[in-house]
Chain A
Amino acid sequence: MLAAYLILGSVLFALGLIGFMTRRNLIIMFLCTEMMFQGIIVNLVAFGRYPLNGAPTFDGQVFALFLIAVAAAEAALGLALVVLLYRYRGTLDANAFTQLRDD
């Protein structure tokens, strides 16, 4: 059963990654990172439920909860940044924000 969960997790992660790299809209990219988080969380929960050796523990679930908290904080911060950037430039195209590059 573990394999099915892992496949689901990696599919979610891969989709998020592809979306992050191909889309230009900051909101969509932000959602894609959330999707990658979800892929990882599915993996963690699966490892918690089906341990590779020994009795099942709650380590995976704890990490999952932890990660959800981090994702929530990141979402709050990230969305705030997105709003600010939109105000600053009037667009959400990621290519418009290249001020931090090394010249």
Chain B
Amino acid sequence: MINLIWLLLLAGGIVYAGFTGRIEVITPSVISAAENAVTLAFKLTGVMCLWLGMMKIAERAGLVRVMSIIIGPVIRRIFPSVPPNHPAMGAIVMTVSANMLGLGNAATPLGIKAIQELQKLSRDRDTATPAMCTLLALCTTGVTLVPATVIALRAAAGSVDPAEIVGATLAVSFTAAAAALTVDRIFRAACGGRVR
């Protein structure tokens, strides 16, 4: 499926530019996008090192276990295929916590860590497991308690009450997460359920 989407975006864009007589924009946009991707990866490196380092300390200090006690019961029900004491569970707990606190740049490295831990439980290394799809559903809709970036953006634009959208954001992200998790369950059942 991802193959088709990728091809559609790439080939569709090139053909479309050809038809509308803008074919000359393609080459520069491709080059700059490729450069941006590497810049982005390097920018991510610093943040990733920082938060994965913090994560290691939190793990050794037993902080992950404390978080697990708080939100663990819910997470365990959402990820039935992950053994409760596997490191993947701790990483998932940390990702969801970071998402809830609106720590966008901390959530990404922690989410990556969680996916890598889930990969260790996988038999087919090229294909996403149901647990990985569920994690993705949780991360892309992310139940956000404090949308820090948006509040800052609104304050900068001169809003009278920048934080007034918090209630709406909470309600929406909760519904979106519920919808994504439901669709995830349907697909999981359709794909033959119990495979890890």
Partners in one complex: no
Chain B residues with a Cβ under 8 A of chain A? none
Chain A residues with a Cβ under 8 A of chain B? none
